[in-house]
Amino acid sequence: MRMLPRDFTDADVAGLRVLCIPSGIGEFQWMATKLHNVHRLSGERFAIIALDGAPRRLHQFAEMHPFVEAFGWATFDYSQIREFQKFNRLNTWARIRELFGLGQMCMLACNPALEAGTHLSNWLPDLPTTYTYPVNFTDKHIAESMRVLPVKNGTFNIGISCASYRGAAAWHTWQHDEWVKFLHFIARDFPDANFVLLGGSWDDLTVSMFDEPGLRFQTDSKTGTPPIGTLSFGGAMATLVSCDAYIGFSSGLGHVAAHLCNTPVFMLWPDHEQILSRTWCNPKLLENGKYVPSQWNSPEEVYASAYTFLHQAYSVRGEKTLWQSQGNLAQSGSPL
């Protein structure tokens, strides 16, 4: 994947389908369930232009997609994408192709439709939806994962992401004490629970869980510290492949774990995103219990539903394998 300069020219994107999109990893993953099929059916490749802003990790995820040839950052505002899409009535892929040729930029976002109750399968309905599509794990990604979970150690490995103190305050979610209480509930009922802390270096609330008495945390075999903030996004994904379950706030980690890593996901959503909590995912995951959305209620209330989820994940944990026995997963994606 080529990185585009801010002043990229028409020549830099000639022959490519150019999309300007929001910078969220989750939203890109949702869009990719459709864009994968554009590439599969027509051979078109993409230049992705993402809205610039922290934490600037989307390029790490985008480069894992075979259909992305070029990537750049732009200073557009999210509201501009929404208005552009509304003004041009970009409701089908045929409409996008009609208005914008190769090399011409189109602004696109799926969040408005999903937040309004349209299921992902019905966004750009003239394109098939492939929830689990191929992504390319590199040797570096796999090596990062094997530093974290190098061998099957008989534990129940649960990925955990609590976000940051600042984010928790802004979204009115759990702070340190609520998370600790919740994790202790898990450790009480699943004594071999081993928590794998994942996220960015800025996720200080997640970091604060480490060394909490009575809880077991996985550490990097080289540094002796938890893996949070030390992995590339691809490395975090590769680690999720080896986790038996994932519990976290609504973020890109959970979305890719559910659709691309074959990892059971329990995800906590704020009140204003309860519709979105169900419209983004493969309905089969809701039916078979491999994805469970939850509101931010008290730790006791949340654990009442999380226990059933964890018990199901625990019962099949032996089916999860580590990278040395993953075969061609690195090239073909993981089956649901």
Domain match, 259 and 291 both: yes
Cα 193 to Cα 187: distance, rounded to the nearest angstrom? 6
Look up residue 287 and give its amino acid.
E
In a domain, 127, yes or no: no
Q: Where in the sequence is the domain holding 68, given as residue range(s)?
A: 2-120
CA 90, 94, 99: angle at the middle one, nearest 5? 65
Residues 44-98: tens digit of each pLDDT? 999 999 999 878 899 999 999 999 999 999 988 899 999 999 999 999 999 999 9
Q: Quick one: tokens of 45?
A: 């490749």
Full strand arrangement of the beta sheet holding 46-51: 2-3, 68-74, 46-51, 17-21, 105-107
Cα first-last separation, the chain: 27
Residues 205-228: tens digit of each pLDDT? 999 999 899 999 999 888 888 999
Domain match, 69 and 182 both: no
Under 8 Å between Cβ of 115 and 278: no
Domain match, 77 and 148 both: no
Question: Can you give the pTM of this predicted structure?
Answer: 0.93
Per DSSP, the chain holds a count of helices (H) and strands (E) of 15, 10
**Alpha helical stretches, state H, 43-175:** 58-62, 78-87, 93-99, 111-115, 139-148, 165-171
The CATH number covering residue 166 comes to: 3.40.50.2000
In a domain, 336, yes or no: no
Cα 306 to Cα 310: distance, rounded to the nearest angstrom? 6
Cα 205 to Cα 141: distance, rounded to the nearest angstrom? 25
Domain match, 312 and 174 both: yes
Domain match, 147 and 114 both: no
Q: How far is Cα of residue 126 from the mean position of the Cα atoms in its chain?
A: 25
In a domain, 333, yes or no: no
Domain match, 169 and 53 both: no
Domain match, 181 and 281 both: yes
Under 8 Å between Cβ of 20 and 49: yes
Helix (H) or strand (E) holding 255: helix 252-260
Total domains present in the chain: 2
Residues 83-125: tens digit of each pLDDT? 999 999 999 999 999 999 999 999 999 999 999 999 999 999 9
Average pLDDT of the residues of the chain: 92
Domain match, 153 and 284 both: yes
* pLDDT score for 323: 66
34 CB contacts (<8 Å, ≥6 apart)? 93, 123, 124, 127, 128, 129
Residues 150-172: tens digit of each pLDDT? 776 789 999 999 989 998 998 88
Domain match, 170 and 213 both: yes
In a domain, 239, yes or no: yes
In a domain, 330, yes or no: no
